[in-house]
Structure 1
Amino acid sequence: MKFISLAAAPLALLCGAAQLYMKNVTFNELTGFGPGAVRDITLAGQFARERLDWVDADNHSLAYTLYEAPGLPAVNIQGTIELNDIGNNNTGIVWTARADAITAGAEDGIKARVLDIYTSSIAIVKGLV
């Protein structure tokens, strides 16, 4: 697990407009609001559809499921994002993912891709605040 420290960022920044904090986003459309909302996104030329499963505003966390991702070697990818006060006006971000199944032999590639998405997105957020 990797922790990155940055100045406080609102949870909303991490939810809606993916093109603001993710590189290579060419399409982003949100349908609905709050839990159950669906986002269609094209990232690095690959389409995905994800659903916001829950939001815990009091604990600054949310969970989502990437339930349609043609071409990805994983099934039912679930992610959580948690923001934590780590002192000195800094926020720690814990962003995790799991999948019900990953195609044999694709584990290292998908791990590297997810790590790149998380690390680059957090770096972009850090530059915004």
Structure 2
Amino acid sequence: MAERYSSFERGGSRWLWQRITAAFLVVVLAFHFFLLHFVHHADEVTFAMSAGRMETWTYYSLMVLFLVTATFHGVNGVYNALINQGLTGTRKTAVKWTLGAASLLLVVQGIRTANAWAGITILPF
């Protein structure tokens, strides 16, 4: 009989967070599709409308949380898929740090973009 294999540790938090982030992403994506495909049709959406939504604290917070959640969910999934394929040793460490650095850069740039749309200035650059 085939044995079930998973890179997630039994009782580990990464497994739980993968499921929690998946559930959150489903809800936020449903909100996104409803708002941007049923309330406002694609041909009606403008940069000014998007900036106006981002100026609302609740929408801005939701989008930043969406960014962080999607980044974690995606990177955690890729990392664990690579482990399931047999990634070990130095390569595993290199991939872990590369994915971590890429995630950090993605989140920082995403927040910078969200801040620009929302009209928030934190740093002069």
Q: TM-score, normalised by structure 2?
A: 0.29
Specify which structure has the higher proportion of helix. Answer: 2
Q: TM-score, normalised by structure 1?
A: 0.29
Specify which structure has the higher proportion of strand. Answer: 1
Higher relative contact order (CA 8 A, sep 6+): 2
Q: Which one has the largest radius of gyration?
A: 2
